[in-house]
Structure 1
Amino acid sequence: MHRQIYVNLPCKDLAASKAFFEAMGYQFHPQFTNDVAAGLVLGDNLYAMLLTEDFARGFTAKPLVDAKAATEVLVCLSCDSREEVDALVAKARAAGAAVPREPQDHGFMYGHGFEDLDGHIWELVHMTAMPPQG
């Protein structure tokens, strides 16, 4: 199957987006980072490519979605604990993120999230078990 994932997200201000994620403790892969793109390292072989809007337009004939007005994608990342979920949301809020909803506790799964500077939705979850079978 697949060995890596690169989620491509357009950004209005690449420098501001990089500073936002760096404030949360994330790093950028130097080989995938330049003036028009930044390879946000999410884990082993997991990347979000933050792209300037002009550069992103080169990959599609469709118009780019304004993520503050419409949902284009929900990026969901697993965390090792509820505390990690809460800590990342707190860091995101401190760095300027919107946090539009309260945490969700489903028993087997705890989640919370934020919207980055461009409105992209990042969900963070900690699963303690598989969901119940219906």
Structure 2
Amino acid sequence: MSQYQQMIFVNLPVKDVEVSTNFFTKLGFTQNKQFSDENTTSIVISDTIVVMLLAEPRFKEFVPKEVADSSTHAEAIVALSAESRAKVDELCDAALAAGGKPSKDPQDYGTMYGRSFQDPDGHNWEVMWMDPSMVQG
């Protein structure tokens, strides 16, 4: 079996790269300056998850469609797992304190718990915890 760790790079358009960089670093994520410039910021969420936040004109260079206005239209939900209910609350509380907006009410199903927020550009983020005993492996 291969030891290769597949990664995911989520690319999102943003209105202000500096505002977005400040927001996500306040959540405890790291900026990879090697892949960042005035039009792009690379935010490292984990060893296998990176969010590339691109100024809208730069993002437009990669897609043949119009860029959605994420303040009025939902284009995606980026969902992140958390190791505990407390970590869900910690990340979402940090997002709200850093200028994010609540997205919907917390969802508590006993063995699953989640909260959501919108980043400064209106992108939807969900943070969820699931009881490990409920996951079949």
Tell me the TM-score normalized by structure 2.
0.90
Structure 2 distance, partners of 1:2, 1:76, is 19
2:23 to 4, 20, 25: 20
Q: Secondary structure of 1:110's partner?
A: strand
Q: Tell me, what secondary structure is at the counterpart of 2:102?
A: coil
The separation in 1 between residues aligned to 2:46 and 2:22, in whole angstroms, is: 18
| Alignment match, 1:40 | 43
1:6 aligns with 2:9: yes
- Point out where structure 1 has 5 or more consecutive residues left out of the alignment: none
Question: Which range is displaced more, 115-124 or 102-111?
Answer: 102-111
**Alignment-derived partner of residue 107 in structure 1:** 110
* Counterparts of 1:121 and 1:57, CA distance in 2: 20
In the aligned structure 2, how far is the partner of 1:38 from the partner of 1:116? 15
Out of 125, 129, 134, which is 1:130 matched to?
134
Aligned letter for 2:43?
L
Q: Which residue does 1:79 correspond to in 2?
A: 82
Kindly state the Cα deviation for residue 2 of structure 1 after the two structures are TM-superposed.
6.9
Shift >3 Å, 4+ stretches? none
SS in 2 for 1:101: coil
How many equivalent pairs are there? Answer: 132
Among 57, 67, 72, the alignment partner of 1:69 is: 72
